[in-house]
Amino acid sequence: MEFSPGKLQKLFEYNFLEYTSYVIRERAIPSIEDGLKPVQRRILQTLINMEDGRFHKVANVVGETMKLHPHGDASIFAALVNLANKGYLIDRQGNFGNIYTGDQASAARYIECRLSPLAKEVLFNKDLTEYIDSYDGRTVEPVSLPAKIPLLLLQGSDGIAVGMATKILPHNFCELLEAQKNILRNQDVVLYPDFQQKGYVDVTDYEDGNGRVRCRARIEEVNEKTIVIRDIPFSTTTQSLTESIERAAKAGKIKIVSINDYTAEDVEIEIKLARGVYARDTIKALYAFTDCEITISPNLTLIRGNNPETSTVSDVLRYNTEKLQADLTRELEINLGRLREKLHARLLEQIFIEERLYKNIEEETSYAAVVRSVETSLVPFTGELVRAVTKEDIEKLLEIRIKRISRYDINKQQKEIRDIRKEIASIEKSLKDMVAYTISYLDALLEKYGHLYPRQTQIKEFSEVSVRKVAPTNLLVSYNRESGFLGHQIKDEGDNQEQSVACSEYDRLLLLFNNGIYKVVPVADKLFVGHELEWFGKIEKDIIFNVIYRDGQENIVYAKRFKTPSFILEKEYRLFAEHKRSKILLLSFGEGKSARVSLMPSTRAKSNILDIFFDDFLVKNPLAKGKRVSNRIVRKVVEGAPDQRIPEEARMMPTLPGFSPEKESDNDGLDADERHSENDRDDLD
């Protein structure tokens, strides 16, 4: 049989779509109806089928579930352990692992489980469950369970399918049911996650289940040299957390002496700090550099009907609340129908025995005549009955034994009829106001189980920890003019090192070259920057730069001031126009600074010295041209004395990393002939 390329492509597309649909609907993505994936639903159905009040070997449960689940026992066992460790639907006996440490559960033959009372109360009702054939047709399984609590939001869910994934965060039992009550009252609801690992959560950007949350460990400062981690963030374990701390310590981001994990029933990770390091600073560094703070981006993807969709927490809760009300209504209607049938049967029996209608059949010779006789004798009592008498009703009356008739207790029967009527009246009243009935149902669940599930995670708004602020300044970046290299690995260059700056790996360095180019680069091991680097230092906000430079094209000297410039990393900028003779003559920082300018001697000038006070200049954009220093030729520029016109405290600026302020520029970049020609121009002036 030959395949054309077009047919082969269609075959692959069809098979891929079939596989994709199967993985999405039957394995990875939970259903909005009951909040369960198929394997979880099959486990719970198996447990209710096996239910006898006692614990069952997990190995037996897994084996029974394989009658419904077409995959291996390993996936069933893993799903069962995960479901049991969530703490709502399955009671455990034995070692099911540890959600804090990440320890695995014991083998399935050693541990036992059974349905929890909550699961038995809210998950199962055969009258509301639709069943389909199992994968091999030997038994049936539920399409979905009639869950009366929002399991999808209660337990959360993770799954990776083909082309999509889901990550739904767990929420608090009591808060979910209270929110459902608010929905029934047409009030607004706001829900936030709650995690078994406790800790803190910042829900500022939760966005109803599709934004992000930041989770933090709870860290206690025992003393200034000892800190203890008491709670861990969601999705981490004490093992993964400890490993992240050890990696940070090895990388030099934090300094610790030892770390010990004493976790058993509760989390306890003790950290001893190194000499010269204190708890308060280390706690900030732990949040910045380790898994003590993590960001989680939930994605509320689910199956509604047969189709995947992305929903929100509010929509899911509203759907579950509407479904709860509808299911409770159906339950009441089914119970009402059964009570009415029961009342009808009791009334028929009462009339048949108390009115001695059974005596009318003594003379009848055939079964058909007996049925007609009973039917005729019941006609006068039709008004007392719930509905019309059927042949099945008459057959049930004829099945009553003489022994039961002889021992018939009229008072007991009347009391039972009164009780049934009372139950019917109560159900009919509830059906008239289903909102109130649903709220009372939720209140009953809260009263019965609410105390078992308090909120574990504290909602708290975190201040952003700046990595650059808490990072240790453990790198010494140096520049060697002879080799032209800059970096923290330049350590053996001897006297050729012109400048060194202590910084962290997260700092950014501003490089300012003699020809007016500047750019910002990250801290590097070893970077070639050339031989004309004028200054470099850490980027800090609002540093004031005082610059005197020569414009080579105009052969004019300008002075200007500007603050730390904005930048794009590793992009080159210019302080002045490009020209081979353009260069920086003087660079200083801060306020209260001055410069002494030596001018070309002139017979008409009273002085050949000019003092420039930078505070007289406005702070402008780095690209501004600046103010001309003098109309005369500038020979030399040096750092001047502090400006005595301003208060002393204004001149007290922090020392900035840079070349020595005493460094002077006495080379104007001109040869002797050029100087002579410029002197001639000065005389013309």
Give the integer Cα–Cα distance in Å for 300 and 294.
Answer: 19
- Catalytic entry in 22, 110, 262, 367: 110
Give the integer Cα–Cα distance in Å for 81 and 110.
Answer: 13
- The answer to whether 339 and 424 have CB atoms below 8 angstroms apart is yes
| Cross-sheet strand order for the sheet of 533-538 | 533-538, 508-513, 517-522, 573-574
449 is catalytic: no
Give the integer Cα–Cα distance in Å for 45 and 49.
Answer: 6
Give the integer Cα–Cα distance in Å for 465 and 473.
Answer: 16
Give the integer Cα–Cα distance in Å for 226 and 224.
Answer: 6
Q: Decide: residue 506, CB within 10 A, 0-12 exposed, 13-18 middle, 19+ buried.
A: middle
**Burial readout 478-503 (b: 16 or more C-beta within 10 A, e: otherwise):** bbbbeeebbbbebeeeeeebbbebeb
Residue whose structure tokens are 């069933």: 76
Map residue 178 onto helix, strand or coil: helix
Map residue 441 onto helix, strand or coil: helix
Return all residues near 173 (Cβ < 8 A) that are at least 6 apart: 88, 149, 154, 449, 450, 452, 453
Main-chain phi, psi angles of 140, to 5 degrees: -125, 155
H/E stretch holding 521 reads: strand 517-522
Return all residues near 68 (Cβ < 8 A) that are at least 6 apart: 42, 45, 46, 134, 135, 139, 141
- The answer to whether 462 and 295 have CB atoms below 8 angstroms apart is no
Q: How far is CA 251 from CA 200, 247, 290, 343, 472, in A?
A: 26, 6, 11, 79, 11
Pairing of strands 307-310, 458-459: unpaired
Give the integer Cα–Cα distance in Å for 302 and 309.
Answer: 6
Map residue 414 onto helix, strand or coil: helix
Where in the sequence numbering do the catalytic residues fall? 110
